[in-house]
Structures are given as structure tokens and as C-alpha cells.
A and B are shown apart, each in its own frame.
Chain A
Amino acid sequence: MESSKKIFINGSFLIIESLARAGAEVFIGYPITPANYLYLYSSKRLPLTFHAPDEITTLQWMSGLSASGKLPITATSFPGFALMIESINMAFMMELPMVIILAQRLGPSTGTATCGASGDLLLVRGMISGGYPVPTFSISSFQDCWDIPPKALETSVKLRTPVIILTSKEITMTNRSFDLNSLKEIKKLDRKFYESNENYIPYKPEKDFVPQFLPLSTTKHQVRFTASTHDQKGILQHSTREALENTARLQKKVLYNLKNYTYFDYQEDGYENLIITYDVSSSVSQEAVRELRNEKISVSLLVVKTILPVSEIYYEIISKYKRIFVVEENLSGQFCEILFGSETPKNVVKINSIGNMIGIDQIKEEVKKNG
């Protein structure tokens, strides 16, 4: 990388560049604001780009390419994502690696295309029929645009699963001056396929509950990808014990390996107040924490980057604190609900906003009032 080069860019550029370097091979998509820059940079940067006629086709083509051994990515926003969900279920069941970038905007429905929000978390959490978890990462800063996508890609390959990167309009469309020196080198993912001469059993799990991958087009082994309930061989079953064990394994592999893809930023300062945040609220939370500490108020900060499934590490951190503040740009406090349930505990304060971004002063006021 060139040294000491200051550039003026948006987060979309960094996300796509990092994925390209990490080994993403093909972008398939249908344009939608605020994901358009992701689409634009992908078409200039990735070896292959396919312009799909709609979002259902996008996911179907991604599944086909993933099954043939490519690493596909796409980017969309809620209206497009909603159309993708049935096919994400298919890819999840077939165990196909792929990365889906969800650039959130203000909903419901078409909402406001150029207004940011963090409103799709509960949707992502519940999108797989049966309640199965899909590894989901949240980008909270420009630096994360570089650091998180390669980790998401790696997780999708290691776990043989679709993964979601949650971001939002304020990351994908906001331009900043940025020093390229602050970016670490990204190593290309070293992807291994099944190599043994023994018969390939497509859904036979290893110790980590993940089956080895072998793409279509091999002549040595038979390869099956099956969306309906199936046994280890990929043969469709109604509800045999083996098939149901295979289905249950889809949850096991995501949870068992969670420690290997749990990313967060934790800044400890006493055990009085803890601010938990993700996405664009992280930036203002960080500054609010700095200003509060200058006023001699002790506040710790947890910026969550692996947001789903929820790691037990987060609960270990939370258990140390008297008061918790959950800062997120949605109406009801979606991550707060995921962490603590529908009834917010008395020592937990939600700080939320829609349409206007949460301000530094708003966070400081809440901490002072309740702290």
C-alpha cells in the first residue's frame, strides 16, 4: 500500500476493498440506496460482478456460485433484504459460505432511503425459520470497515454458512478524510476443500460440527447441496433422527465456534456505569465517554462488533456493573431487548432515536441523570 496517502472516501470503499483483498471473488446485486456505493466499488474491484434482475435472483445466483466454490458477496438494504430472506434460509440449510452486507436505512417499508438507522437487528435475529442463529457482525467505525469484513468472510468459510454484516447509511454514504497508513495489511483467505480419497459425505461434521466443503464440478466425488431436511449424505428425509440431528447441528456449529469469531472493543473504567453500543452510535458514545471521564464520572464502554449470536463474554462484562446504558439508533432498543428480554431491568437505561442521530449531550445527560 502507498505510504502517507490521505484520501477522502466513504465506508463502502473500505468494506469492498477489504473484502477483495481477503478473497471475495464475486459481487451479485440489485441497486438500492444506501448500498449503491458498495455495488459501484464492487463492480470496479472484484473479479466478477453480476447485475441481478432482483434480490431473490441475487441470492439464488450467489448460492449457485458458492456451491461451485466461489466466494460471493452482496449488499442491500431492508426492502431488498426482505426479498432475500427465503433464499438465505436455503443457503443456510445448504451450508453455503457467502457475505450479505445489510446497509440499514430508516424504515418501515421504503422509509427514508438516505436516513440512517439500526433497525434491522431483530429481523436478522429471527430470519431463519426455526430460530437458528446466523453469525452477524456490526460495523461501528471507518476502521471497522477495514477490519470486520475479512473476519466475516473468514467466518462464512470456516463455518460453511451465510454471514451478515450490519452497517448503515452513515457508514456507507458519509465521506471522511482518512489516512491509509492506519490500515493493516489483509491476508488473502487460505481456503481448503475436501482432499481425501475416501468417499465424500457432504454433511458429515468434523469436531467443530462443520462439514468439509467440496464444490460442484468435481469428478472424483459426488456432491450434494440440499435445502430440505436431509441426512449427512444430503439425501432428503422427512424427519428421521439422523436428519433432525443434522438440522440441529446448524445451530450447534454457529454457537460452538462463537468464541473464535467474537469481536468487541471494551474500555474499562470502574464498575459503576457501562455503555453498550454498536453501529454508528459507537462514535458519539466514544466521545461522550471521553467527556464524562473528563468530568470525573467513571464510565466503561463496550462496542459490540460480533452482535449475533450474543457471546457469553458480554454477559460476563455486564455482570460487573451497577448501571447499564444501551445506545442504539432505533425506536425500541432492539439489542437491549435481545440482551435483557422484553422487560427492561431497573438498572438498564435505553438511549434510542429514529430519524435524528443520538447526540453526545443526550448520552451524557442520561448517564448523569441515572448514574
Chain B
Amino acid sequence: MRRAEIRLAGSGGQGIILAAKVIAEAAGIFSNYNVLQSQIYGAAARGELSKADVIIDEGDIYTLEISAADILLSLSQEAYDKYSKELKEDGKMIIDSFYVKNYDQLDKRIYPFPISELSKQLANSELFSNMISVGIITQMTKYFSEESILKSVEKNVPKNFVEMNIKAVKIGFEKVAEKYPNIC
């Protein structure tokens, strides 16, 4: 595969950093790629912008941050506003359509999903938005297998919450299959 540059962005407290770690380990530990994951965050309590970049490559990785993303996840309007211009021409942007209301409807690179609504249906909470996003990214990119991502979830989330997080990832898989069957 060619180098993949993924940027996950949202508000502090949405679990962006954990989602990035799960994706990075799915590629770097449970698949045999080189990966790098950097992180920037503000205070979760204040809901400040949070961002994590993941670079996946077969070769060595020298750059520590990405300038334009192949995959961009925007879980908040602020994240969309700040990073939507930094998407490659052939990139894909996944947005939470509940929080990102103001976006370019004509941009074919944008794939809206009601991510936080799906999380509320699953657990009456938005806590699982990050893992639903992880499932969507896995299915839309095929950078690594479903098996790799599930193993990575199991390794990275607290034991008591593994089952719910895996359910959330699988919801992500299903929604892509339902909404964009051509991608799957």
C-alpha cells in the first residue's frame, strides 16, 4: 500500500487520542506496517480542540506530522472548520453529521454519518462515538483487516468495556456497508 495519512479531530473528551492509538496499533502491531501517531490536545473539561495524526507506511517514516490527510475524521464543527482544507484531492472526510452541520454539501469527498446519534442508540451516551468512527475508517480504507482492529480494541480499552467498544466498532462496519456498499 502507499503511505496513508490519517487525521482524527474533535473536541477534548471525545476519545480522539484513544481512537488514534487503536488505529495505529491495528496497523503497526496487528498488521505489519510502520506507524507513527502524534497528538495535540487542549483541556477536555473545556471541550477544546483535540487532534491526532496517524501515519501508516511500509517504509520508514521521517515526518512527524501530516500536511494533508488521506482520511480526515471531524467529530465537531470546529474540527471541520480547522482541518477540512487539509484533505488531499483524492482523500475522504468522515464527519459526524450531528455536530458538523455547516459543511460543503457538494464535496464528494465528504461522507456524513450520524456518529454520536448511533452511539446514543447503542449506550445512551456519546462515549462510543470514537469507536464507531474507528469501525467506519476501517471499512472505508481497508488499510488493515477487521480482525486487526478488533484485536487492537481488545488490547487498548479497559477489560470491562471491551464488549461495548467492539459492538461500537461493528456498528461502524455495518453503517458503511449499508450506506456506501460500493466501498465495501
The proximity string for B residues 26-70 relative to A, scoring 1 for CB distances below 8 Å and 0 otherwise, is 011100011111111110000000000000000001111101000
Per the 8 Å Cβ criterion, residues 116-160 of B in contact with A are none
Contact B65 A357 (CB under 8 A): yes
Which residues does chain B contribute within 8 Å of A357, judged by CB atoms? 63-65
Contact B62 A284 (CB under 8 A): yes
Q: Does B24 have its Cβ within 8 Å of any Cβ on chain A? A: yes
**Which stretch, A40-48, A118-126, A170-178, touches the partner chain B?**
A170-178
Contact B25 A8 (CB under 8 A): yes
Which residues does chain B contribute within 8 Å of A176, judged by CB atoms? 28, 34-37, 61
In whole angstroms, how far apart are the Cα atoms of A283 and B40 in the complex? 20
In whole angstroms, how far apart are the Cα atoms of A115 and B40 in the complex? 7
A-B contact pairs, 29 of them (CB 8 A): A6-B29, A8-B21, A8-B24, A8-B28, A8-B35, A8-B37, A114-B40, A114-B41, A115-B40, A173-B38, A173-B39, A175-B21, A175-B24, A175-B35, A175-B37, A176-B37, A177-B27, A177-B29, A177-B35, A177-B36, A280-B64, A284-B62, A284-B63, A287-B63, A357-B63, A357-B64, A357-B65, A359-B63, A360-B63
Which residues does chain B contribute within 8 Å of A284, judged by CB atoms? 62-64
Knowing A7-B29, A8-B25, A114-B41 touch, does A175 contact B63 (C-beta < 8 A)? no
Closest 3 pairs (CB-CB, A-B): A177-B28, A287-B62, A175-B37
Q: Which residue of B lies closest to A281 (CB)?
A: B64
Which residues does chain B contribute within 8 Å of A175, judged by CB atoms? 21, 24, 35-38
How near does chain B come to A85, taking the closest CB pair, in angstroms?
Answer: 28
User: For chain B, which range describes its interface: under 10, 10 to 19, 20 to 34, or 35 or more residues?
Assistant: 20 to 34
In whole angstroms, how far apart are the Cα atoms of A174 and B63 in the complex? 11
Q: Which residue of B lies closest to A171 (CB)?
A: B64
Which residues does chain A contribute within 8 Å of B35, judged by CB atoms? 8, 175-177
Q: Which residue of A lies closest to B42 (CB)?
A: A114
Per the 8 Å Cβ criterion, residues 7-22 of A in contact with B are 7-8
Q: Does A298 have its Cβ within 8 Å of any Cβ on chain B? A: no
Which residues does chain A contribute within 8 Å of B25, judged by CB atoms? 8
In whole angstroms, how far apart are the Cα atoms of A315 and B62 in the complex? 27
In whole angstroms, how far apart are the Cα atoms of A177 and B152 in the complex? 13
Give the number of chain A interface residues (Cβ < 8 Å): 20
- Which of A's residues lie within 8 Å of B, judged by CB? 6-8, 114-115, 170, 173-177, 280, 283-284, 286-287, 356-357, 359-360
Which residues does chain A contribute within 8 Å of B65, judged by CB atoms? 170, 356-357
Contact B28 A283 (CB under 8 A): no
Which residues does chain A contribute within 8 Å of B62, judged by CB atoms? 283-284, 286-287, 360
In whole angstroms, how far apart are the Cα atoms of A6 and B39 in the complex? 21
In whole angstroms, how far apart are the Cα atoms of A173 and B36 in the complex? 11
Contact A170 B28 (CB under 8 A): no
Point out which of B21, B29, B34, B38 has the most chain A C-beta atoms below 10 A from its C-beta.
Answer: B38
Q: Which residue of B lies closest to A7 (CB)?
A: B29
How near does chain B come to A22, taking the closest CB pair, in angstroms?
Answer: 26
Q: Which residue of A lies closest to B33 (CB)?
A: A177
Contact B63 A283 (CB under 8 A): yes
Q: Which residue of B lies closest to A286 (CB)?
A: B62
Point out which of A175, A176, A356 has the most chain B C-beta atoms below 10 A from its C-beta.
Answer: A175
In whole angstroms, how far apart are the Cα atoms of A7 and B24 in the complex? 11
Contact A174 B40 (CB under 8 A): no
In whole angstroms, how far apart are the Cα atoms of A283 and B65 in the complex? 12
Q: Which residue of B lies closest to A356 (CB)?
A: B65
Q: Which residue of B lies closest to A174 (CB)?
A: B38
Having A173-B38, A360-B62, one finds 14 other A-B pairs with CB under 8 Å, namely: A6-B28, A7-B29, A8-B24, A8-B28, A8-B29, A8-B35, A170-B64, A174-B38, A283-B62, A283-B64, A286-B62, A356-B65, A357-B63, A360-B63
Knowing A8-B25, A287-B63 touch, does A174 contact B41 (C-beta < 8 A)? no
In whole angstroms, how far apart are the Cα atoms of A201 and B38 in the complex? 51
Q: Which residue of B lies closest to A116 (CB)?
A: B64
Q: Which residue of A lies closest to B64 (CB)?
A: A170
Which residues does chain A contribute within 8 Å of B61, judged by CB atoms? 176
Which residues does chain A contribute within 8 Å of B67, judged by CB atoms? 359
Contact A177 B34 (CB under 8 A): yes
In whole angstroms, how far apart are the Cα atoms of A115 and B65 in the complex? 11
In whole angstroms, how far apart are the Cα atoms of A173 and B51 in the complex? 13
Point out which of B37, B62, B67 has the most chain A C-beta atoms below 10 A from its C-beta.
Answer: B62
The proximity string for B residues 79-120 relative to A, scoring 1 for CB distances below 8 Å and 0 otherwise, is 000000000000000000000000000000000000000000
Which residues does chain B contribute within 8 Å of A287, judged by CB atoms? 62-63
In whole angstroms, how far apart are the Cα atoms of A114 and B64 in the complex? 14
How near does chain B come to A5, taking the closest CB pair, in angstroms?
Answer: 10
Which residues does chain A contribute within 8 Å of B37, judged by CB atoms? 8, 174-176
Point out which of A173, A280, A356 has the most chain B C-beta atoms below 10 A from its C-beta.
Answer: A173
Which residues does chain B contribute within 8 Å of A174, judged by CB atoms? 36-39, 64
How near does chain A come to B30, taking the closest CB pair, in angstroms?
Answer: 10
How near does chain B come to A4, taking the closest CB pair, in angstroms?
Answer: 12
Q: Which residue of B lies closest to A34 (CB)?
A: B39
Q: Which residue of B lies closest to A33 (CB)?
A: B41
In whole angstroms, how far apart are the Cα atoms of A12 and B6 in the complex? 23
